């Protein structure tokens, strides 16, 4: 099985790669369109902001490449947000493969932004990606923008409001949290993705 990490400039690429190595998979880091198209699984990692993330994909001429993929694709953190149609962050048009918009958390006295740390997951759908995921399992988040709950939501999370922790539409999937930093739960979900 060939797995590639899209080299879109995300600062979490190394930790995602190590998490995959712990599962016995050596994922190649690439910005080569043909390598991405021919891989069995594609992972789009990312930490940072939506506008620079999309600018990097345009610069690499990977926007249409990613949109046209038919194999399982996983976006992680910012990578998940880039799979959506639009982000409020710098009013950014994204890849548009998942019919969702990304919105900034509203800061309140009870809700600090960014949302940072461990939080509980609540599965709301049945999906192979969620195999053996339990209600209340913990995952590690760092983000200021989130995807509202919708038809694409597989797992929700509560941070003074419900938001999507895992989303999917067709062959495109996203995890808002960092599976590579979410201990056994993250490893389990990455393993599920690799087995899809």
CA 191/CA 19 separation, integer angstroms? 10
Q: One of 59, 61, 77, 143 is an active-site residue; which one?
A: 77
Annotated active-site residue 178? The verdict is yes
E-strand ranges in the chain read 3-6, 28-30, 41-44, 73-76, 84-87, 92-93, 98-104, 115-120, 122-123, 138-143, 145-146, 153-158, 162-169, 172-175
Number of helices followed by number of strands (H, E) in the chain: 6, 14
Q: One of 126, 143, 180, 195 is an active-site residue; which one?
A: 180
Run of H or E including 194: helix 183-195
Annotated active-site residue 77? The verdict is yes
CA 51/CA 59 separation, integer angstroms? 12
CB atoms inside a 10 Å sphere around CB 39: 22
Annotated active-site residue 143? The verdict is no
Q: One of 94, 134, 178, 195 is an active-site residue; which one?
A: 178
Is residue 168 classed as helix, strand or coil in its secondary structure?
Answer: strand
- Cβ distance 99 to 31 under 8 Å? no
Q: Supply the residues annotated as catalytic.
A: 77, 178, 180
């Amino acid at each position: 099985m060939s797995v590639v990490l899209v080299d879109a400039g995300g600062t979490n690429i190394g930790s995602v790669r190590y998490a995959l190595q712990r599962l016995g998979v050596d994922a190649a880091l690439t910005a080569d369109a043909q390598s991405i198209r021919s891989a069995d699984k594609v992972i789009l990692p990312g930490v940072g902001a939506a506008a620079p993330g999309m600018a990097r994909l345009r610069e690499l001429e990977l926007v249409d490449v990613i949109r046209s993929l038919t194999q399982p694709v996983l976006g992680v953190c910012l990578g998940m947000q880039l799979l959506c149609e639009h982000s409020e962050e710098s009013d950014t048009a994204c890849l548009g493969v998942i019919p969702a918009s990304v919105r900034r958390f509203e800061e309140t006295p009870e809700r600090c932004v960014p949302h940072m740390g461990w939080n509980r997951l609540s599965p709301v759908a049945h999906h192979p990606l969620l195999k053996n995921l339990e209600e209340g399992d913990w995952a590690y988040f760092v983000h200021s923008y989130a995807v509202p709950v919708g038809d694409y939501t597989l797992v929700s999370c509560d941070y003074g409001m419900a938001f999507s922790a895992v989303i999917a539409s067709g062959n495109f999937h996203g995890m808002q949290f960092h599976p590579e930093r979410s201990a056994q739960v993250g490893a389990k979900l990455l393993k599920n993705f690799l087995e899809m």
